[in-house]
Amino acid sequence: MKNVLITGGAGFIGVNLTAHLAAHGGYAITVLDNESMGDRRHLEPFGVRFIHGDICDDAALAAALDGQEVVVHLAADTRVMDSIDNPVFNFEVNAVGSLKVLEACRKRNTPRMIAASTGGAIIGEAEPPVHEDMVARPLAPYGASKLAMEGYMSAYTGAYGIGCCALRFSNIYGPRSFHKGSVVAHFFKQILAGKELIVYGDGSQARDFLYIEDLVDGVRRAMESTAVGVYQLGSGYPTTVNELLGVMGSVVGRTDLPIKFEGFRAGEIHRTWCEISRARAAFGFDPATSLSDGLERTWAWFNAR
């Protein structure tokens, strides 16, 4: 059995990753989560060791990290707009908290750390597809904090030999995302509630939407590899918000979704999607779920609730 710690493991991606690892077998999983955005009850079917605590708490990190062979660091303050409202809190969680995780790994000789990063928010407004060699120009504090994390991961690989791998997630959607504020989850919740769908901008803004099962399969592959550095994980294809709404309408069986367009928001990227060839070559990342199939599975999960 390989001992794995997942920080932020009670959240959307963490619970899906735990389920994925449990299905594959061979992992003894510990989750560290302060439950600000997650709930330990969602982990009960998988027999994990759960520690309620924060990544900025040295004592909680020490208890969680002892004996671990791999750390998957998901705990973060992830919302772009929130980071603009409160950049200091975002820095404390994403930059300082990640440094604390790295330092705890160094003190315990933990050999490997995989961390959730972000693509578009780090690169900023650039001609897509974005890739790992592009110059970073964050437009919001969230992207800047994740860039700081990536810098420290590179330094801890170079200085201390920790096998650090930063995975730049695109827009992730799928089951178990009910509490998420991301666009797919938000729109599905609005549809279920019979409420208006607010689109900031004209709907031409494009994102790279990746189904959660494809993501967690990529995370597991990265865990089992020796890859270090930065890798993009996405579908590799752009989808505009208007296209997304069209597919969602087909999935829910409606052609009359109530949509209201409002002004673009400062700090948001207009068009971004990613090149995934480096991850494919390094650890066999190969997303296979189409947007329509992924949205159908996600809608079925939301309806089941």
Residue 122 domain-assigned? yes
Chain segment 1-26, per-residue pLDDT in tens = 899 999 999 999 999 999 999 999 99
Q: Do the domain assignments include residue 202?
A: no
What range defines the domain where residue 117 resides?
2-174+209-237+271-288
Query: Predicted confidence band at 255 (pLDDT cuts at 50, 70, 90)?
Result: confident
Is 199 part of any domain?
no
Whole-prediction pTM value? 0.94
Question: Could you tell me if residue 197 is inside a domain?
Answer: no
CATH of the domain at 93: 3.40.50.720
Strand partners, 116: 167
Give me the phi and psi of 265, to 5 degrees please: -105, 140
Number of domains in the chain: 1
Decide if 196 is inside a domain.
no
Please report which confidence band the pLDDT of residue 81 belongs to, taking 50, 70 and 90 as the band edges: confident
pLDDT at residue 123, rounded to an integer: 87
> Hey, how many other C-beta atoms are within 10 angstroms of the C-beta on 75?
30
Q: What is the mean pLDDT of the chain?
A: 95
Distance of alpha carbon 10 from alpha carbon 143, whole angstroms: 23
14 part of a folded domain = yes
How far apart CA 266 and CA 235 sit, in angstroms, is 26
Structural domain contains residue 230 = yes
